[in-house]
Structure 1
Amino acid sequence: MNYYDMFGVKIRTKLDFSDFLYPSMTKSYDFEIVHENVFAEDILKSSEILYRRFIYGEAIPFEEFFKVDGKYYLLRWLSQYNFFIDPEKRLLSIDGKLDGEFFCIFFSRILSFLLYLKGYSQLHGSAVRYQDKTVCFIGKSGSGKSTSASLCVKNGGKIITDDIIAFHPKDHKLRSGLPSLRLFSSSPLVKMAKQSFDEVDKLRVDFSNGLHYTETSAINAFFFLEVNDEKGLSFNRLKGNETMLHLISNVYGKYFLKNVFSEFLHTKNVPIFSRFSNEIPMFKVYRHSNTKPDELFELIHTLVSNLD
């Protein structure tokens, strides 16, 4: 049996996740993961559809989430992968080929779901340790989150987490995530990594060889990134209601929050985000679609250097 750690959440499994996760130092676990054929059509007879989302450009274009018998959960992805979650037994059963598509959905939606079950608030972004400060890059896909994080690493920083930024439910600090960044193969940082793994449209690039920050840390700044050809390369510091709006609009797994964890937004996210709004500097950073990565990094470097 193998034991691993993800954001402080411990799992045990017979599967080999050593290429992606750090081994846990204890035999205790929060979830057990098994690989078996768990899906049968009769499961759907006792289930309630929580949401169905069509995915543009896919041959079998949907993601489905069910609640089974009022206490279990079933996630179906592209009709090829099934994830059955039993919260009482702390059991996750997975059905499907363990390929790049599987790892892409597992280390995003499934990991996020497990974190929500454990009470973690989450944002969609990347976090790095740079100049002895913990900074988070938040934004939509394509806004430059991973690029900004990789440039910080290239210039002496370390990656904390990518894609999912999870806040511990007790102290609201960051626990390090997967020791990797999701990058395009053309990124110059790919050459610095120990190894990389195919994950559909990107490479999951391993930085566990000294480039991953594993300590618990408090956040020093949020940078909300946006591509805007009218504003070009510029920034402004967010104030007042702008801070809460940007945090809430960038929560990770909005479908989970809306359809599965509907009370979580008010009981967990709003109090934590309210605290962040009052205590942590937040900046909106714009860039032109043709802005060079080094130009974006120069602006970010200046902002980080001037943090209190």
Structure 2
Amino acid sequence: MSSETTAIASANGTSAPLSLRDATTLLTRTREHLSGVVLGKPEVIRMALIGILAEGHLLIEDVPGVGKTLLAKAISHTLGCRFNRVQFTPDLLPGDLIGTSVLHPPTGTFRFQPGPIFAHIVLADEINRATPRTQSALLEAMSEKQVSIDGETRKLEPPFFVLATQNPFEFEGTYPLPESQLDRFLLRIEVGYPSVAVELSILTQHRQGEPVDSMPAVLDAAQVLKLQALTRSITMSDSLANYLLAIVHATRQQQDISLGASTRAALGFYRAAQATALLDGRDYVIPDDIKQMAIPVLAHRLLVRSSRSQGQAARAILSELLQKIPVPA
């Protein structure tokens, strides 16, 4: 951890809340740190940090090889958090994910062996390749931040963040995520291919090995929790809260939408707008924060009556709603 970050941590103590100024300094350094490894993707970094600040989970839907695993590793190194990667396959069992009880021969008793879900940041790679049974085990962890095994509930240590990936162009051997699980993801984003200039920089950067492996931490788990607590304190006026709810309710009244945004979606939308404000150095939400988060938060939760791609159709409908719904003065 840098001397500047250490000084901020010392000034705030182990339990004192972060000030807006200190939080802005830490978040600026975090974004710069991630940008040095995840090249040419400032918006992807921004969305990932919004997800963490808002205590949500991130679904990245994109082709293989565009840096999804790199992003997850870079975040875990930068935040100083424990990281586990799980490759989801059709034969992955719930016990492989959450853990199982094993016999301890010297005592003749069973001991719980935690699975990879017991980490601060979990990369669920190709999540749609796992069976619905395994996906449901992950669903409990995502929504309740706990797992149940052998009749016992075990809490997951905060902060807990799932970054899941899926390939939208591969259908053989996949199990589409049900609406109930999609609703657990705060944000769905795409990474996309880099530009030629950025890709050249990536080739140069990787000559000597993986730069992410030598990344120092900028934050620690305790500071992440403080940033999340500060996010919850960001002010949103009643008029903006009503504006946010007007967008949510409009999705339930569209003839082209058979399943609108849920109350969980509204709560996530609210928290994401707060996180956007904090990331921009403000302690209050403005209309643009809500507009920016509408599509990443809501589009993947909508079930559209359309022959077009669900994602494209949902984004188009939301864009139209944002133009029609009046913005409060």
TM bin, normalised by shorter chain, reads under 0.3
Higher-Rg member (1/2): 2
TM-score by length of 2: 0.26
Higher helix share: 2
Higher strand share: 1
Higher RCO structure (Cα 8 Å, ≥6 apart): 2
